[in-house]
Each structure stands twice: as C-alpha cells, then as structure tokens.
C-alpha cells in the first residue's frame, strides 16, 4: 500500500493510528539531498555503482520520486570530483578563495583599478595554491591527476569567484565538470541542481561592468610578463656567464690533457732510458768480473814464473 493509500485508510482510526501510519510513510521516503551529497563525495570510478545501489534502495522503499531524482544524477568528471573534494576537505580554504570574488565585485563596482590589480594578483596566487591542494588530496587517495586537470580546477575556481551562484554550487560540492571562464565576467559551470529533477548546465548573463575586471587582469598579466622578461634576461646572463666559465674549464682541461700526454711520453722515455742503463750496468758488471778473473789468472801465472 502506498503512502497516499495509507493516509486514506486513516479515516476513523484515531490519533495514534494516524501517527503510526505517518511515521511508516515518512520512513519510506529517501533523503535525496543527503544521497546527492554522498554520491558527489565519491570518486568518479565509484559513482555509478553507488548510484545504482541508492536507486535500488529508493525502489525498495517505493519512493518513485527519489528513484527518478537519483537516477538522473550525472557522474562527475575528475575535475568535478577534485572541486567537490576541496569543498569537503578544505571548506575554509575554499570559502576564503571564493570570498575574494566578493571583494573583486566591490572593487569592480567602485571602478578601483588599483584594488582590482591587487586582488587579481592575489586571486591568481591563492587559486593556484588551492588547485595544488586538490592534487595533494587526490594523491592521499592514491590517485594521480595531471597538470591539465589541476589547471581546470583552477579555472573552475576562477569562474566560481566571478559569480555568486557558481560559488554557492562549489561550496555545496555538487560540481559535475570544469567551468569555462574567459576573464570577462561570469561563465557557465556544469553542476547538480538543488531542486530540479535532472542535472543541467546553468546559464549566466554577462556582467556589464566586467570590462574593469578584464582591464585589471590585462594589466596584471602585463606586469607579470614584464617581471618574467626581467627574470629571463637575468637568467640568460647567468647562463652566458656559466657557459663562459664552462669553456674556460674545458680549455684548462684540454691543456691538462696535453700536459698529461707530454708527461706520459717523458715517463715512457725515462723508463726506456732506465732499462737501457740497467742493461749497461749489467754488461759493465759482467765485464768487470771477467777482467778481475783475468787479473787473478795473470797474477797467478806471474807468481809461478818467479818461483825457483
């Protein structure tokens, strides 16, 4: 019997029967919002199996609306999972980053170029750091994500900072995929709707005053380019100095090699001279011994002659 049929059968039952039936009816309902939060906290590889399990639970409870709503939930991409992971594991950091969006919009309304430049530079720095945190969180779960995915995470955070609705979606951790952000105001972000039965992309109207942000970003980019150029020039000078030192060392090594070869040749000549001298010494010693023997023989002969 359905919840509606249960309610119709309550006529004439009394208060206790009404409460009992109402409690059982409430127990059959599935908290779709809770299930959605649970599913979008999972890795993409686990999403489909978990969604199927939740659909079966809703079907067992005969909650048709929940079956329809949960079945319609889309599997997030790796980028969507990473952003959702940040919203769950680093909520304070995410909130701090997204709060810069409010400051940017305030500076934009006031047409304050100095504040826009400072906030834009700060935004680039903190978004980069938060994207790196997403990679670290993935690594803690034995997942390796590439630089392209982390760039998309940063792009999604930039988009969320540009529009309050996108920021709210990111904070809830219901992002399906990467956002697109050109730097000229709000951009589309695929996310899980809170009330609609099916997930769909959210469309946003361009901000008429976004040109001020774009100008600030352009000036910040030019300043970064100039800083990078100066740094490049300095590194090229260092490389030229190092290259000159390497060439000097190479010349010295070549000179040492030539000197070593020369010394090796002299050593060989000396060894050859030593061998020749040794042979001469042996020959002389042999001659000396032979001469001594001859002297001794002569002396003996002379002594024999002198005897009467």
What pLDDT digit, counting tens, does each position of 81-129 carry?
Answer: 999 999 999 999 898 888 887 777 777 677 767 777 777 777 788 888 9
Q: Any idea how long the chain is?
A: 308
What would the two tokens of residue 289 be? 């011994």
Q: What would the DSSP string read from start to end of 70-99?
A: HHTPPPP-HHHHHHHHHHHH-HHHHHHHHH
Model's pTM, two decimal places? 0.53
* Residue pLDDT, tens place only, 182-208: 554 444 444 444 433 333 333 333 444
CA distance 184 to 213: 7
CA distance 151 to 155: 6
Region 208-215 average pLDDT:
46
The total of other beta-carbon atoms located within 10 Å of residue 170's CB is: 26
Q: Residue 255: is its pLDDT beyond 90?
A: no
């Amino acid at each position: 019997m359905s919840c509606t049929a249960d309610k119709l059968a309550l006529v004439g039952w009394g208060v206790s029967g009404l409460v009992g039936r109402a409690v059982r009816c409430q127990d059959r309902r599935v908290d779709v919002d809770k299930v959605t939060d649970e599913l979008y906290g999972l890795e993409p590889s686990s999403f489909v199996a978990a969604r199927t399990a939740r659909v079966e639970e809703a079907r067992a409870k005969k909650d048709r609306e929940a079956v329809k709503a949960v079945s319609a939930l889309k599997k997030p991409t790796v980028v969507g999972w990473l952003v959702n992971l940040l919203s769950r594991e680093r909520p304070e950091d995410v909130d701090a980053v997204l709060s810069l969006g409010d400051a940017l919009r305030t500076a934009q309304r006031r047409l304050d170029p100095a504040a826009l430049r400072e906030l834009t530079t700060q935004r680039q720095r903190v978004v980069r750091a938060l994207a790196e945190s997403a990679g670290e969180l993935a690594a803690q779960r034995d997942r390796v994500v590439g630089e392209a995915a982390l760039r998309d995470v940063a792009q999604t955070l930039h988009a969320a900072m540009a529009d309050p609705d996108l920021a709210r979606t990111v904070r809830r951790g219901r992002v399906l995929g990467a956002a697109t952000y050109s730097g000229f105001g709000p951009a589309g972000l695929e996310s899980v709707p809170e009330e609609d039965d099916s997930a769909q992309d959210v469309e946003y109207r361009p901000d008429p005053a976004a040109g001020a942000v774009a100008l600030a970003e352009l000036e910040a980019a030019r300043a970064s380019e100039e800083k990078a150029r100066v740094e490049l020039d300095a590194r090229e000078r260092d490389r030229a100095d190092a290259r000159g030192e390497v060439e000097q060392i190479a010349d010295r090594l070549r000179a040492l090699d030539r000197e070593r070869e020369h010394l090796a040749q002299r050593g060989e000549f000396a060894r050859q001279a030593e061998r020749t001298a040794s042979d001469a010494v042996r020959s002389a010693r042999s001659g000396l011994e032979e001469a001594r023997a001859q002297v001794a023989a002569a002396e003996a002969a002379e002594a024999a002659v002198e005897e009467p």
